Every structure is written in C-alpha cells, then in structure tokens.
Amino acid sequence: MFEKILKNLKSNPPLVHNITNYVTVNDCANVILAAGASPLMADDINEVEDIVSISNVLYINVGTLNARTVEAMVKAGKKANELDLPVILDPVGVGASKLRNESVEKLINEIDFSVIKGNMSEIKALYTNAKNTGGVDVQEDDLINDENIEESINFIKKVSGKFNCTIAATGVIDIVTDSERVSLIRNGNDMMSKITGTGCMAGSLVATYCGSNKNEIFDATVMAITVMGLSGEKAYRKIVEKSEGTGSFRTYLIDAVSLMDFKALKEGAKIESR
C-alpha cells in the first residue's frame, strides 16, 4: 500500500485547494509542501470554482467558521463533485454551537464527501446531532482506547455507512474505515496535543494523498494518518534528545513529514487491519 501511494504522489503531486481556518492555515500549507504537493489557500466565493477547476482535491476545514466562507465551501464542494475530485471535510468543533451544527449539516447535505476526519467527539456530534461541550478538543468520555475499541469500530462503521464515505476518527488510537475495511493506527505522541494545528495538518495530509490517489481513498487516508502520527513520534524523539520544547516540536514535525519515505513507513507504521 505505502509504496503505491507514495509513488503516485511523487509522479503526480497534487494541487491541494484548502478552504481552512486562519489559526492553522500556515501549518496546513507547510505540511502539504513538506509532503511534496502544492497548497492553494483560496476562500473567496467569487473565485473558488475557478480554483477548484485547476486543483486535484478540495480540503474543507470549519475551524474558524463564518457565514461567508460556508457559502464558498458549498460552491467549491459542488464544483469539485462536478469534476469528480476528492473532497475532504474536517468538521472542527461541530456540536459546540448552533451555527457550527447548521453549517456542517448544510455542507453534508449539499456536498458528497470522500473523507470526513475528526476526533471522536466531533464524529459523534456529526452522527447524533448531540452537543459537544469540549469545543475543538475530544471529550474524555469519547477517547478511543483498548477497552472501548470494538464499540468504537462498530460505531464509526455506522457513521461511514450513513455518510457514504471514509471516516477517520483520530485519537490515541486512530480508526479509519469505509464501512467494510477497518484500520487501527497506533502511531503518534502526546506532544501532538500541545501545539495548535496537528489535527488540521492531518486533514491536509489526507487531502494531499487522496489528491494523487483518488481511486484509493481508503488506503490514502490510512497512509496520511500514519504519516502524521509517525512524524509526531520522530519529532518527539528529537526534542527529548536536544532538551527542546513545543516550538521546536512543530518544526521537527514538519521536517519529519518532508523526510518520510517508504523505508521509514515500513519500519515505523503501527497499523492493524480488522
């Protein structure tokens, strides 16, 4: 899987259209570049169709939501569907507010998504319309662990079936499913939760790999989540070795993405198929 996905990325590096948030937009752009693709950040409603038309994939992230960008997201998503391009959704903080819930519902009703990526609280809020009191962070009761892994897998498979797309539920254990295939990914490090943007960067990587592998959406998603987690492990080892902190961790994280290759993935990936 890894070799094919990497080969496609190197031979056909995608142009990744991001409509994302202003907190992590620079991180998203840099991680896309680090992976070997090209980022394009454009959210004006008057140009999104033109930008989608020259892109290979669309990444929608609702982190800093407003009414103007929602309309641009819908317009871009419909154009991407028309062109048969992968569309990735990161429903950041869904469940935290009425605006967020209504906006994400509108996006899902009007756009066919290839992948939805979020933490377990966001995925639950998406599926049940329940309130998510944790904001953008996963609630403690929703953490994926070995005790609730079977229950979590079954639930996420239901979500995948409902929305007819691949679901990536991220956490200490990541779960990726297309309702039939399931991969558990145990890469990553606690330090990743100490800086802003790691979730958004993971979404950008999903878009990047899907952009070059639109017929292998599930495998591309598994690879993207694995690359992000493994890069976090490598970055953590660096800061421990050099007695450095969170600022250096962010830099080393992007470094690790840029240096990721088949050998590193083969040796470091912790993936279990179910």
197 is in an annotated binding site: yes
146-187 pLDDT, tens digit per residue, is 889 999 999 999 999 999 999 999 999 999 999 999 999 999
CB 82 within 8 A of CB 108: no
Domain count across the chain: 1
Q: Is 238 annotated as a binding residue?
A: no
> Tell me, what's the pLDDT at 139?
53
pLDDT in tens, 241-273: 999 999 999 999 999 999 999 999 999 999 999
φ and ψ at residue 29, rounded to 5 degrees: -60, -45
Per-residue confidence band for 144, with pLDDT thresholds at 50, 70 and 90: confident
CA distances from 189 to 33, 40, 173, 233 (A): 22, 29, 11, 6
Asked if 188 and 249 touch (Cβ cutoff 8 Å), the reply is: no
- 196 assigned binding-site residue: no
Instruction: Name every residue whose Cβ is closer than 8 Å to that of residue 37 and which is 6 or more positions away in sequence.
Output: 9, 13, 14, 15, 16, 208, 211, 212
**CATH number reported for the structural domain that contains residue 42 in this entry:** 3.40.1190.20
Residue 142, pLDDT score? 62
Q: How far apart are alpha carbons 185 and 48 in whole angstroms?
A: 34
Q: Give the range of the structural domain holding residue 104, as residue numbers without chain letter.
A: 2-273
Q: Are 166 and 192 in contact (CB under 8 A)?
A: no
Q: Is 117 annotated as a binding residue?
A: yes
Read off φ and ψ for residue 224, nearest 5 degrees: -60, -45
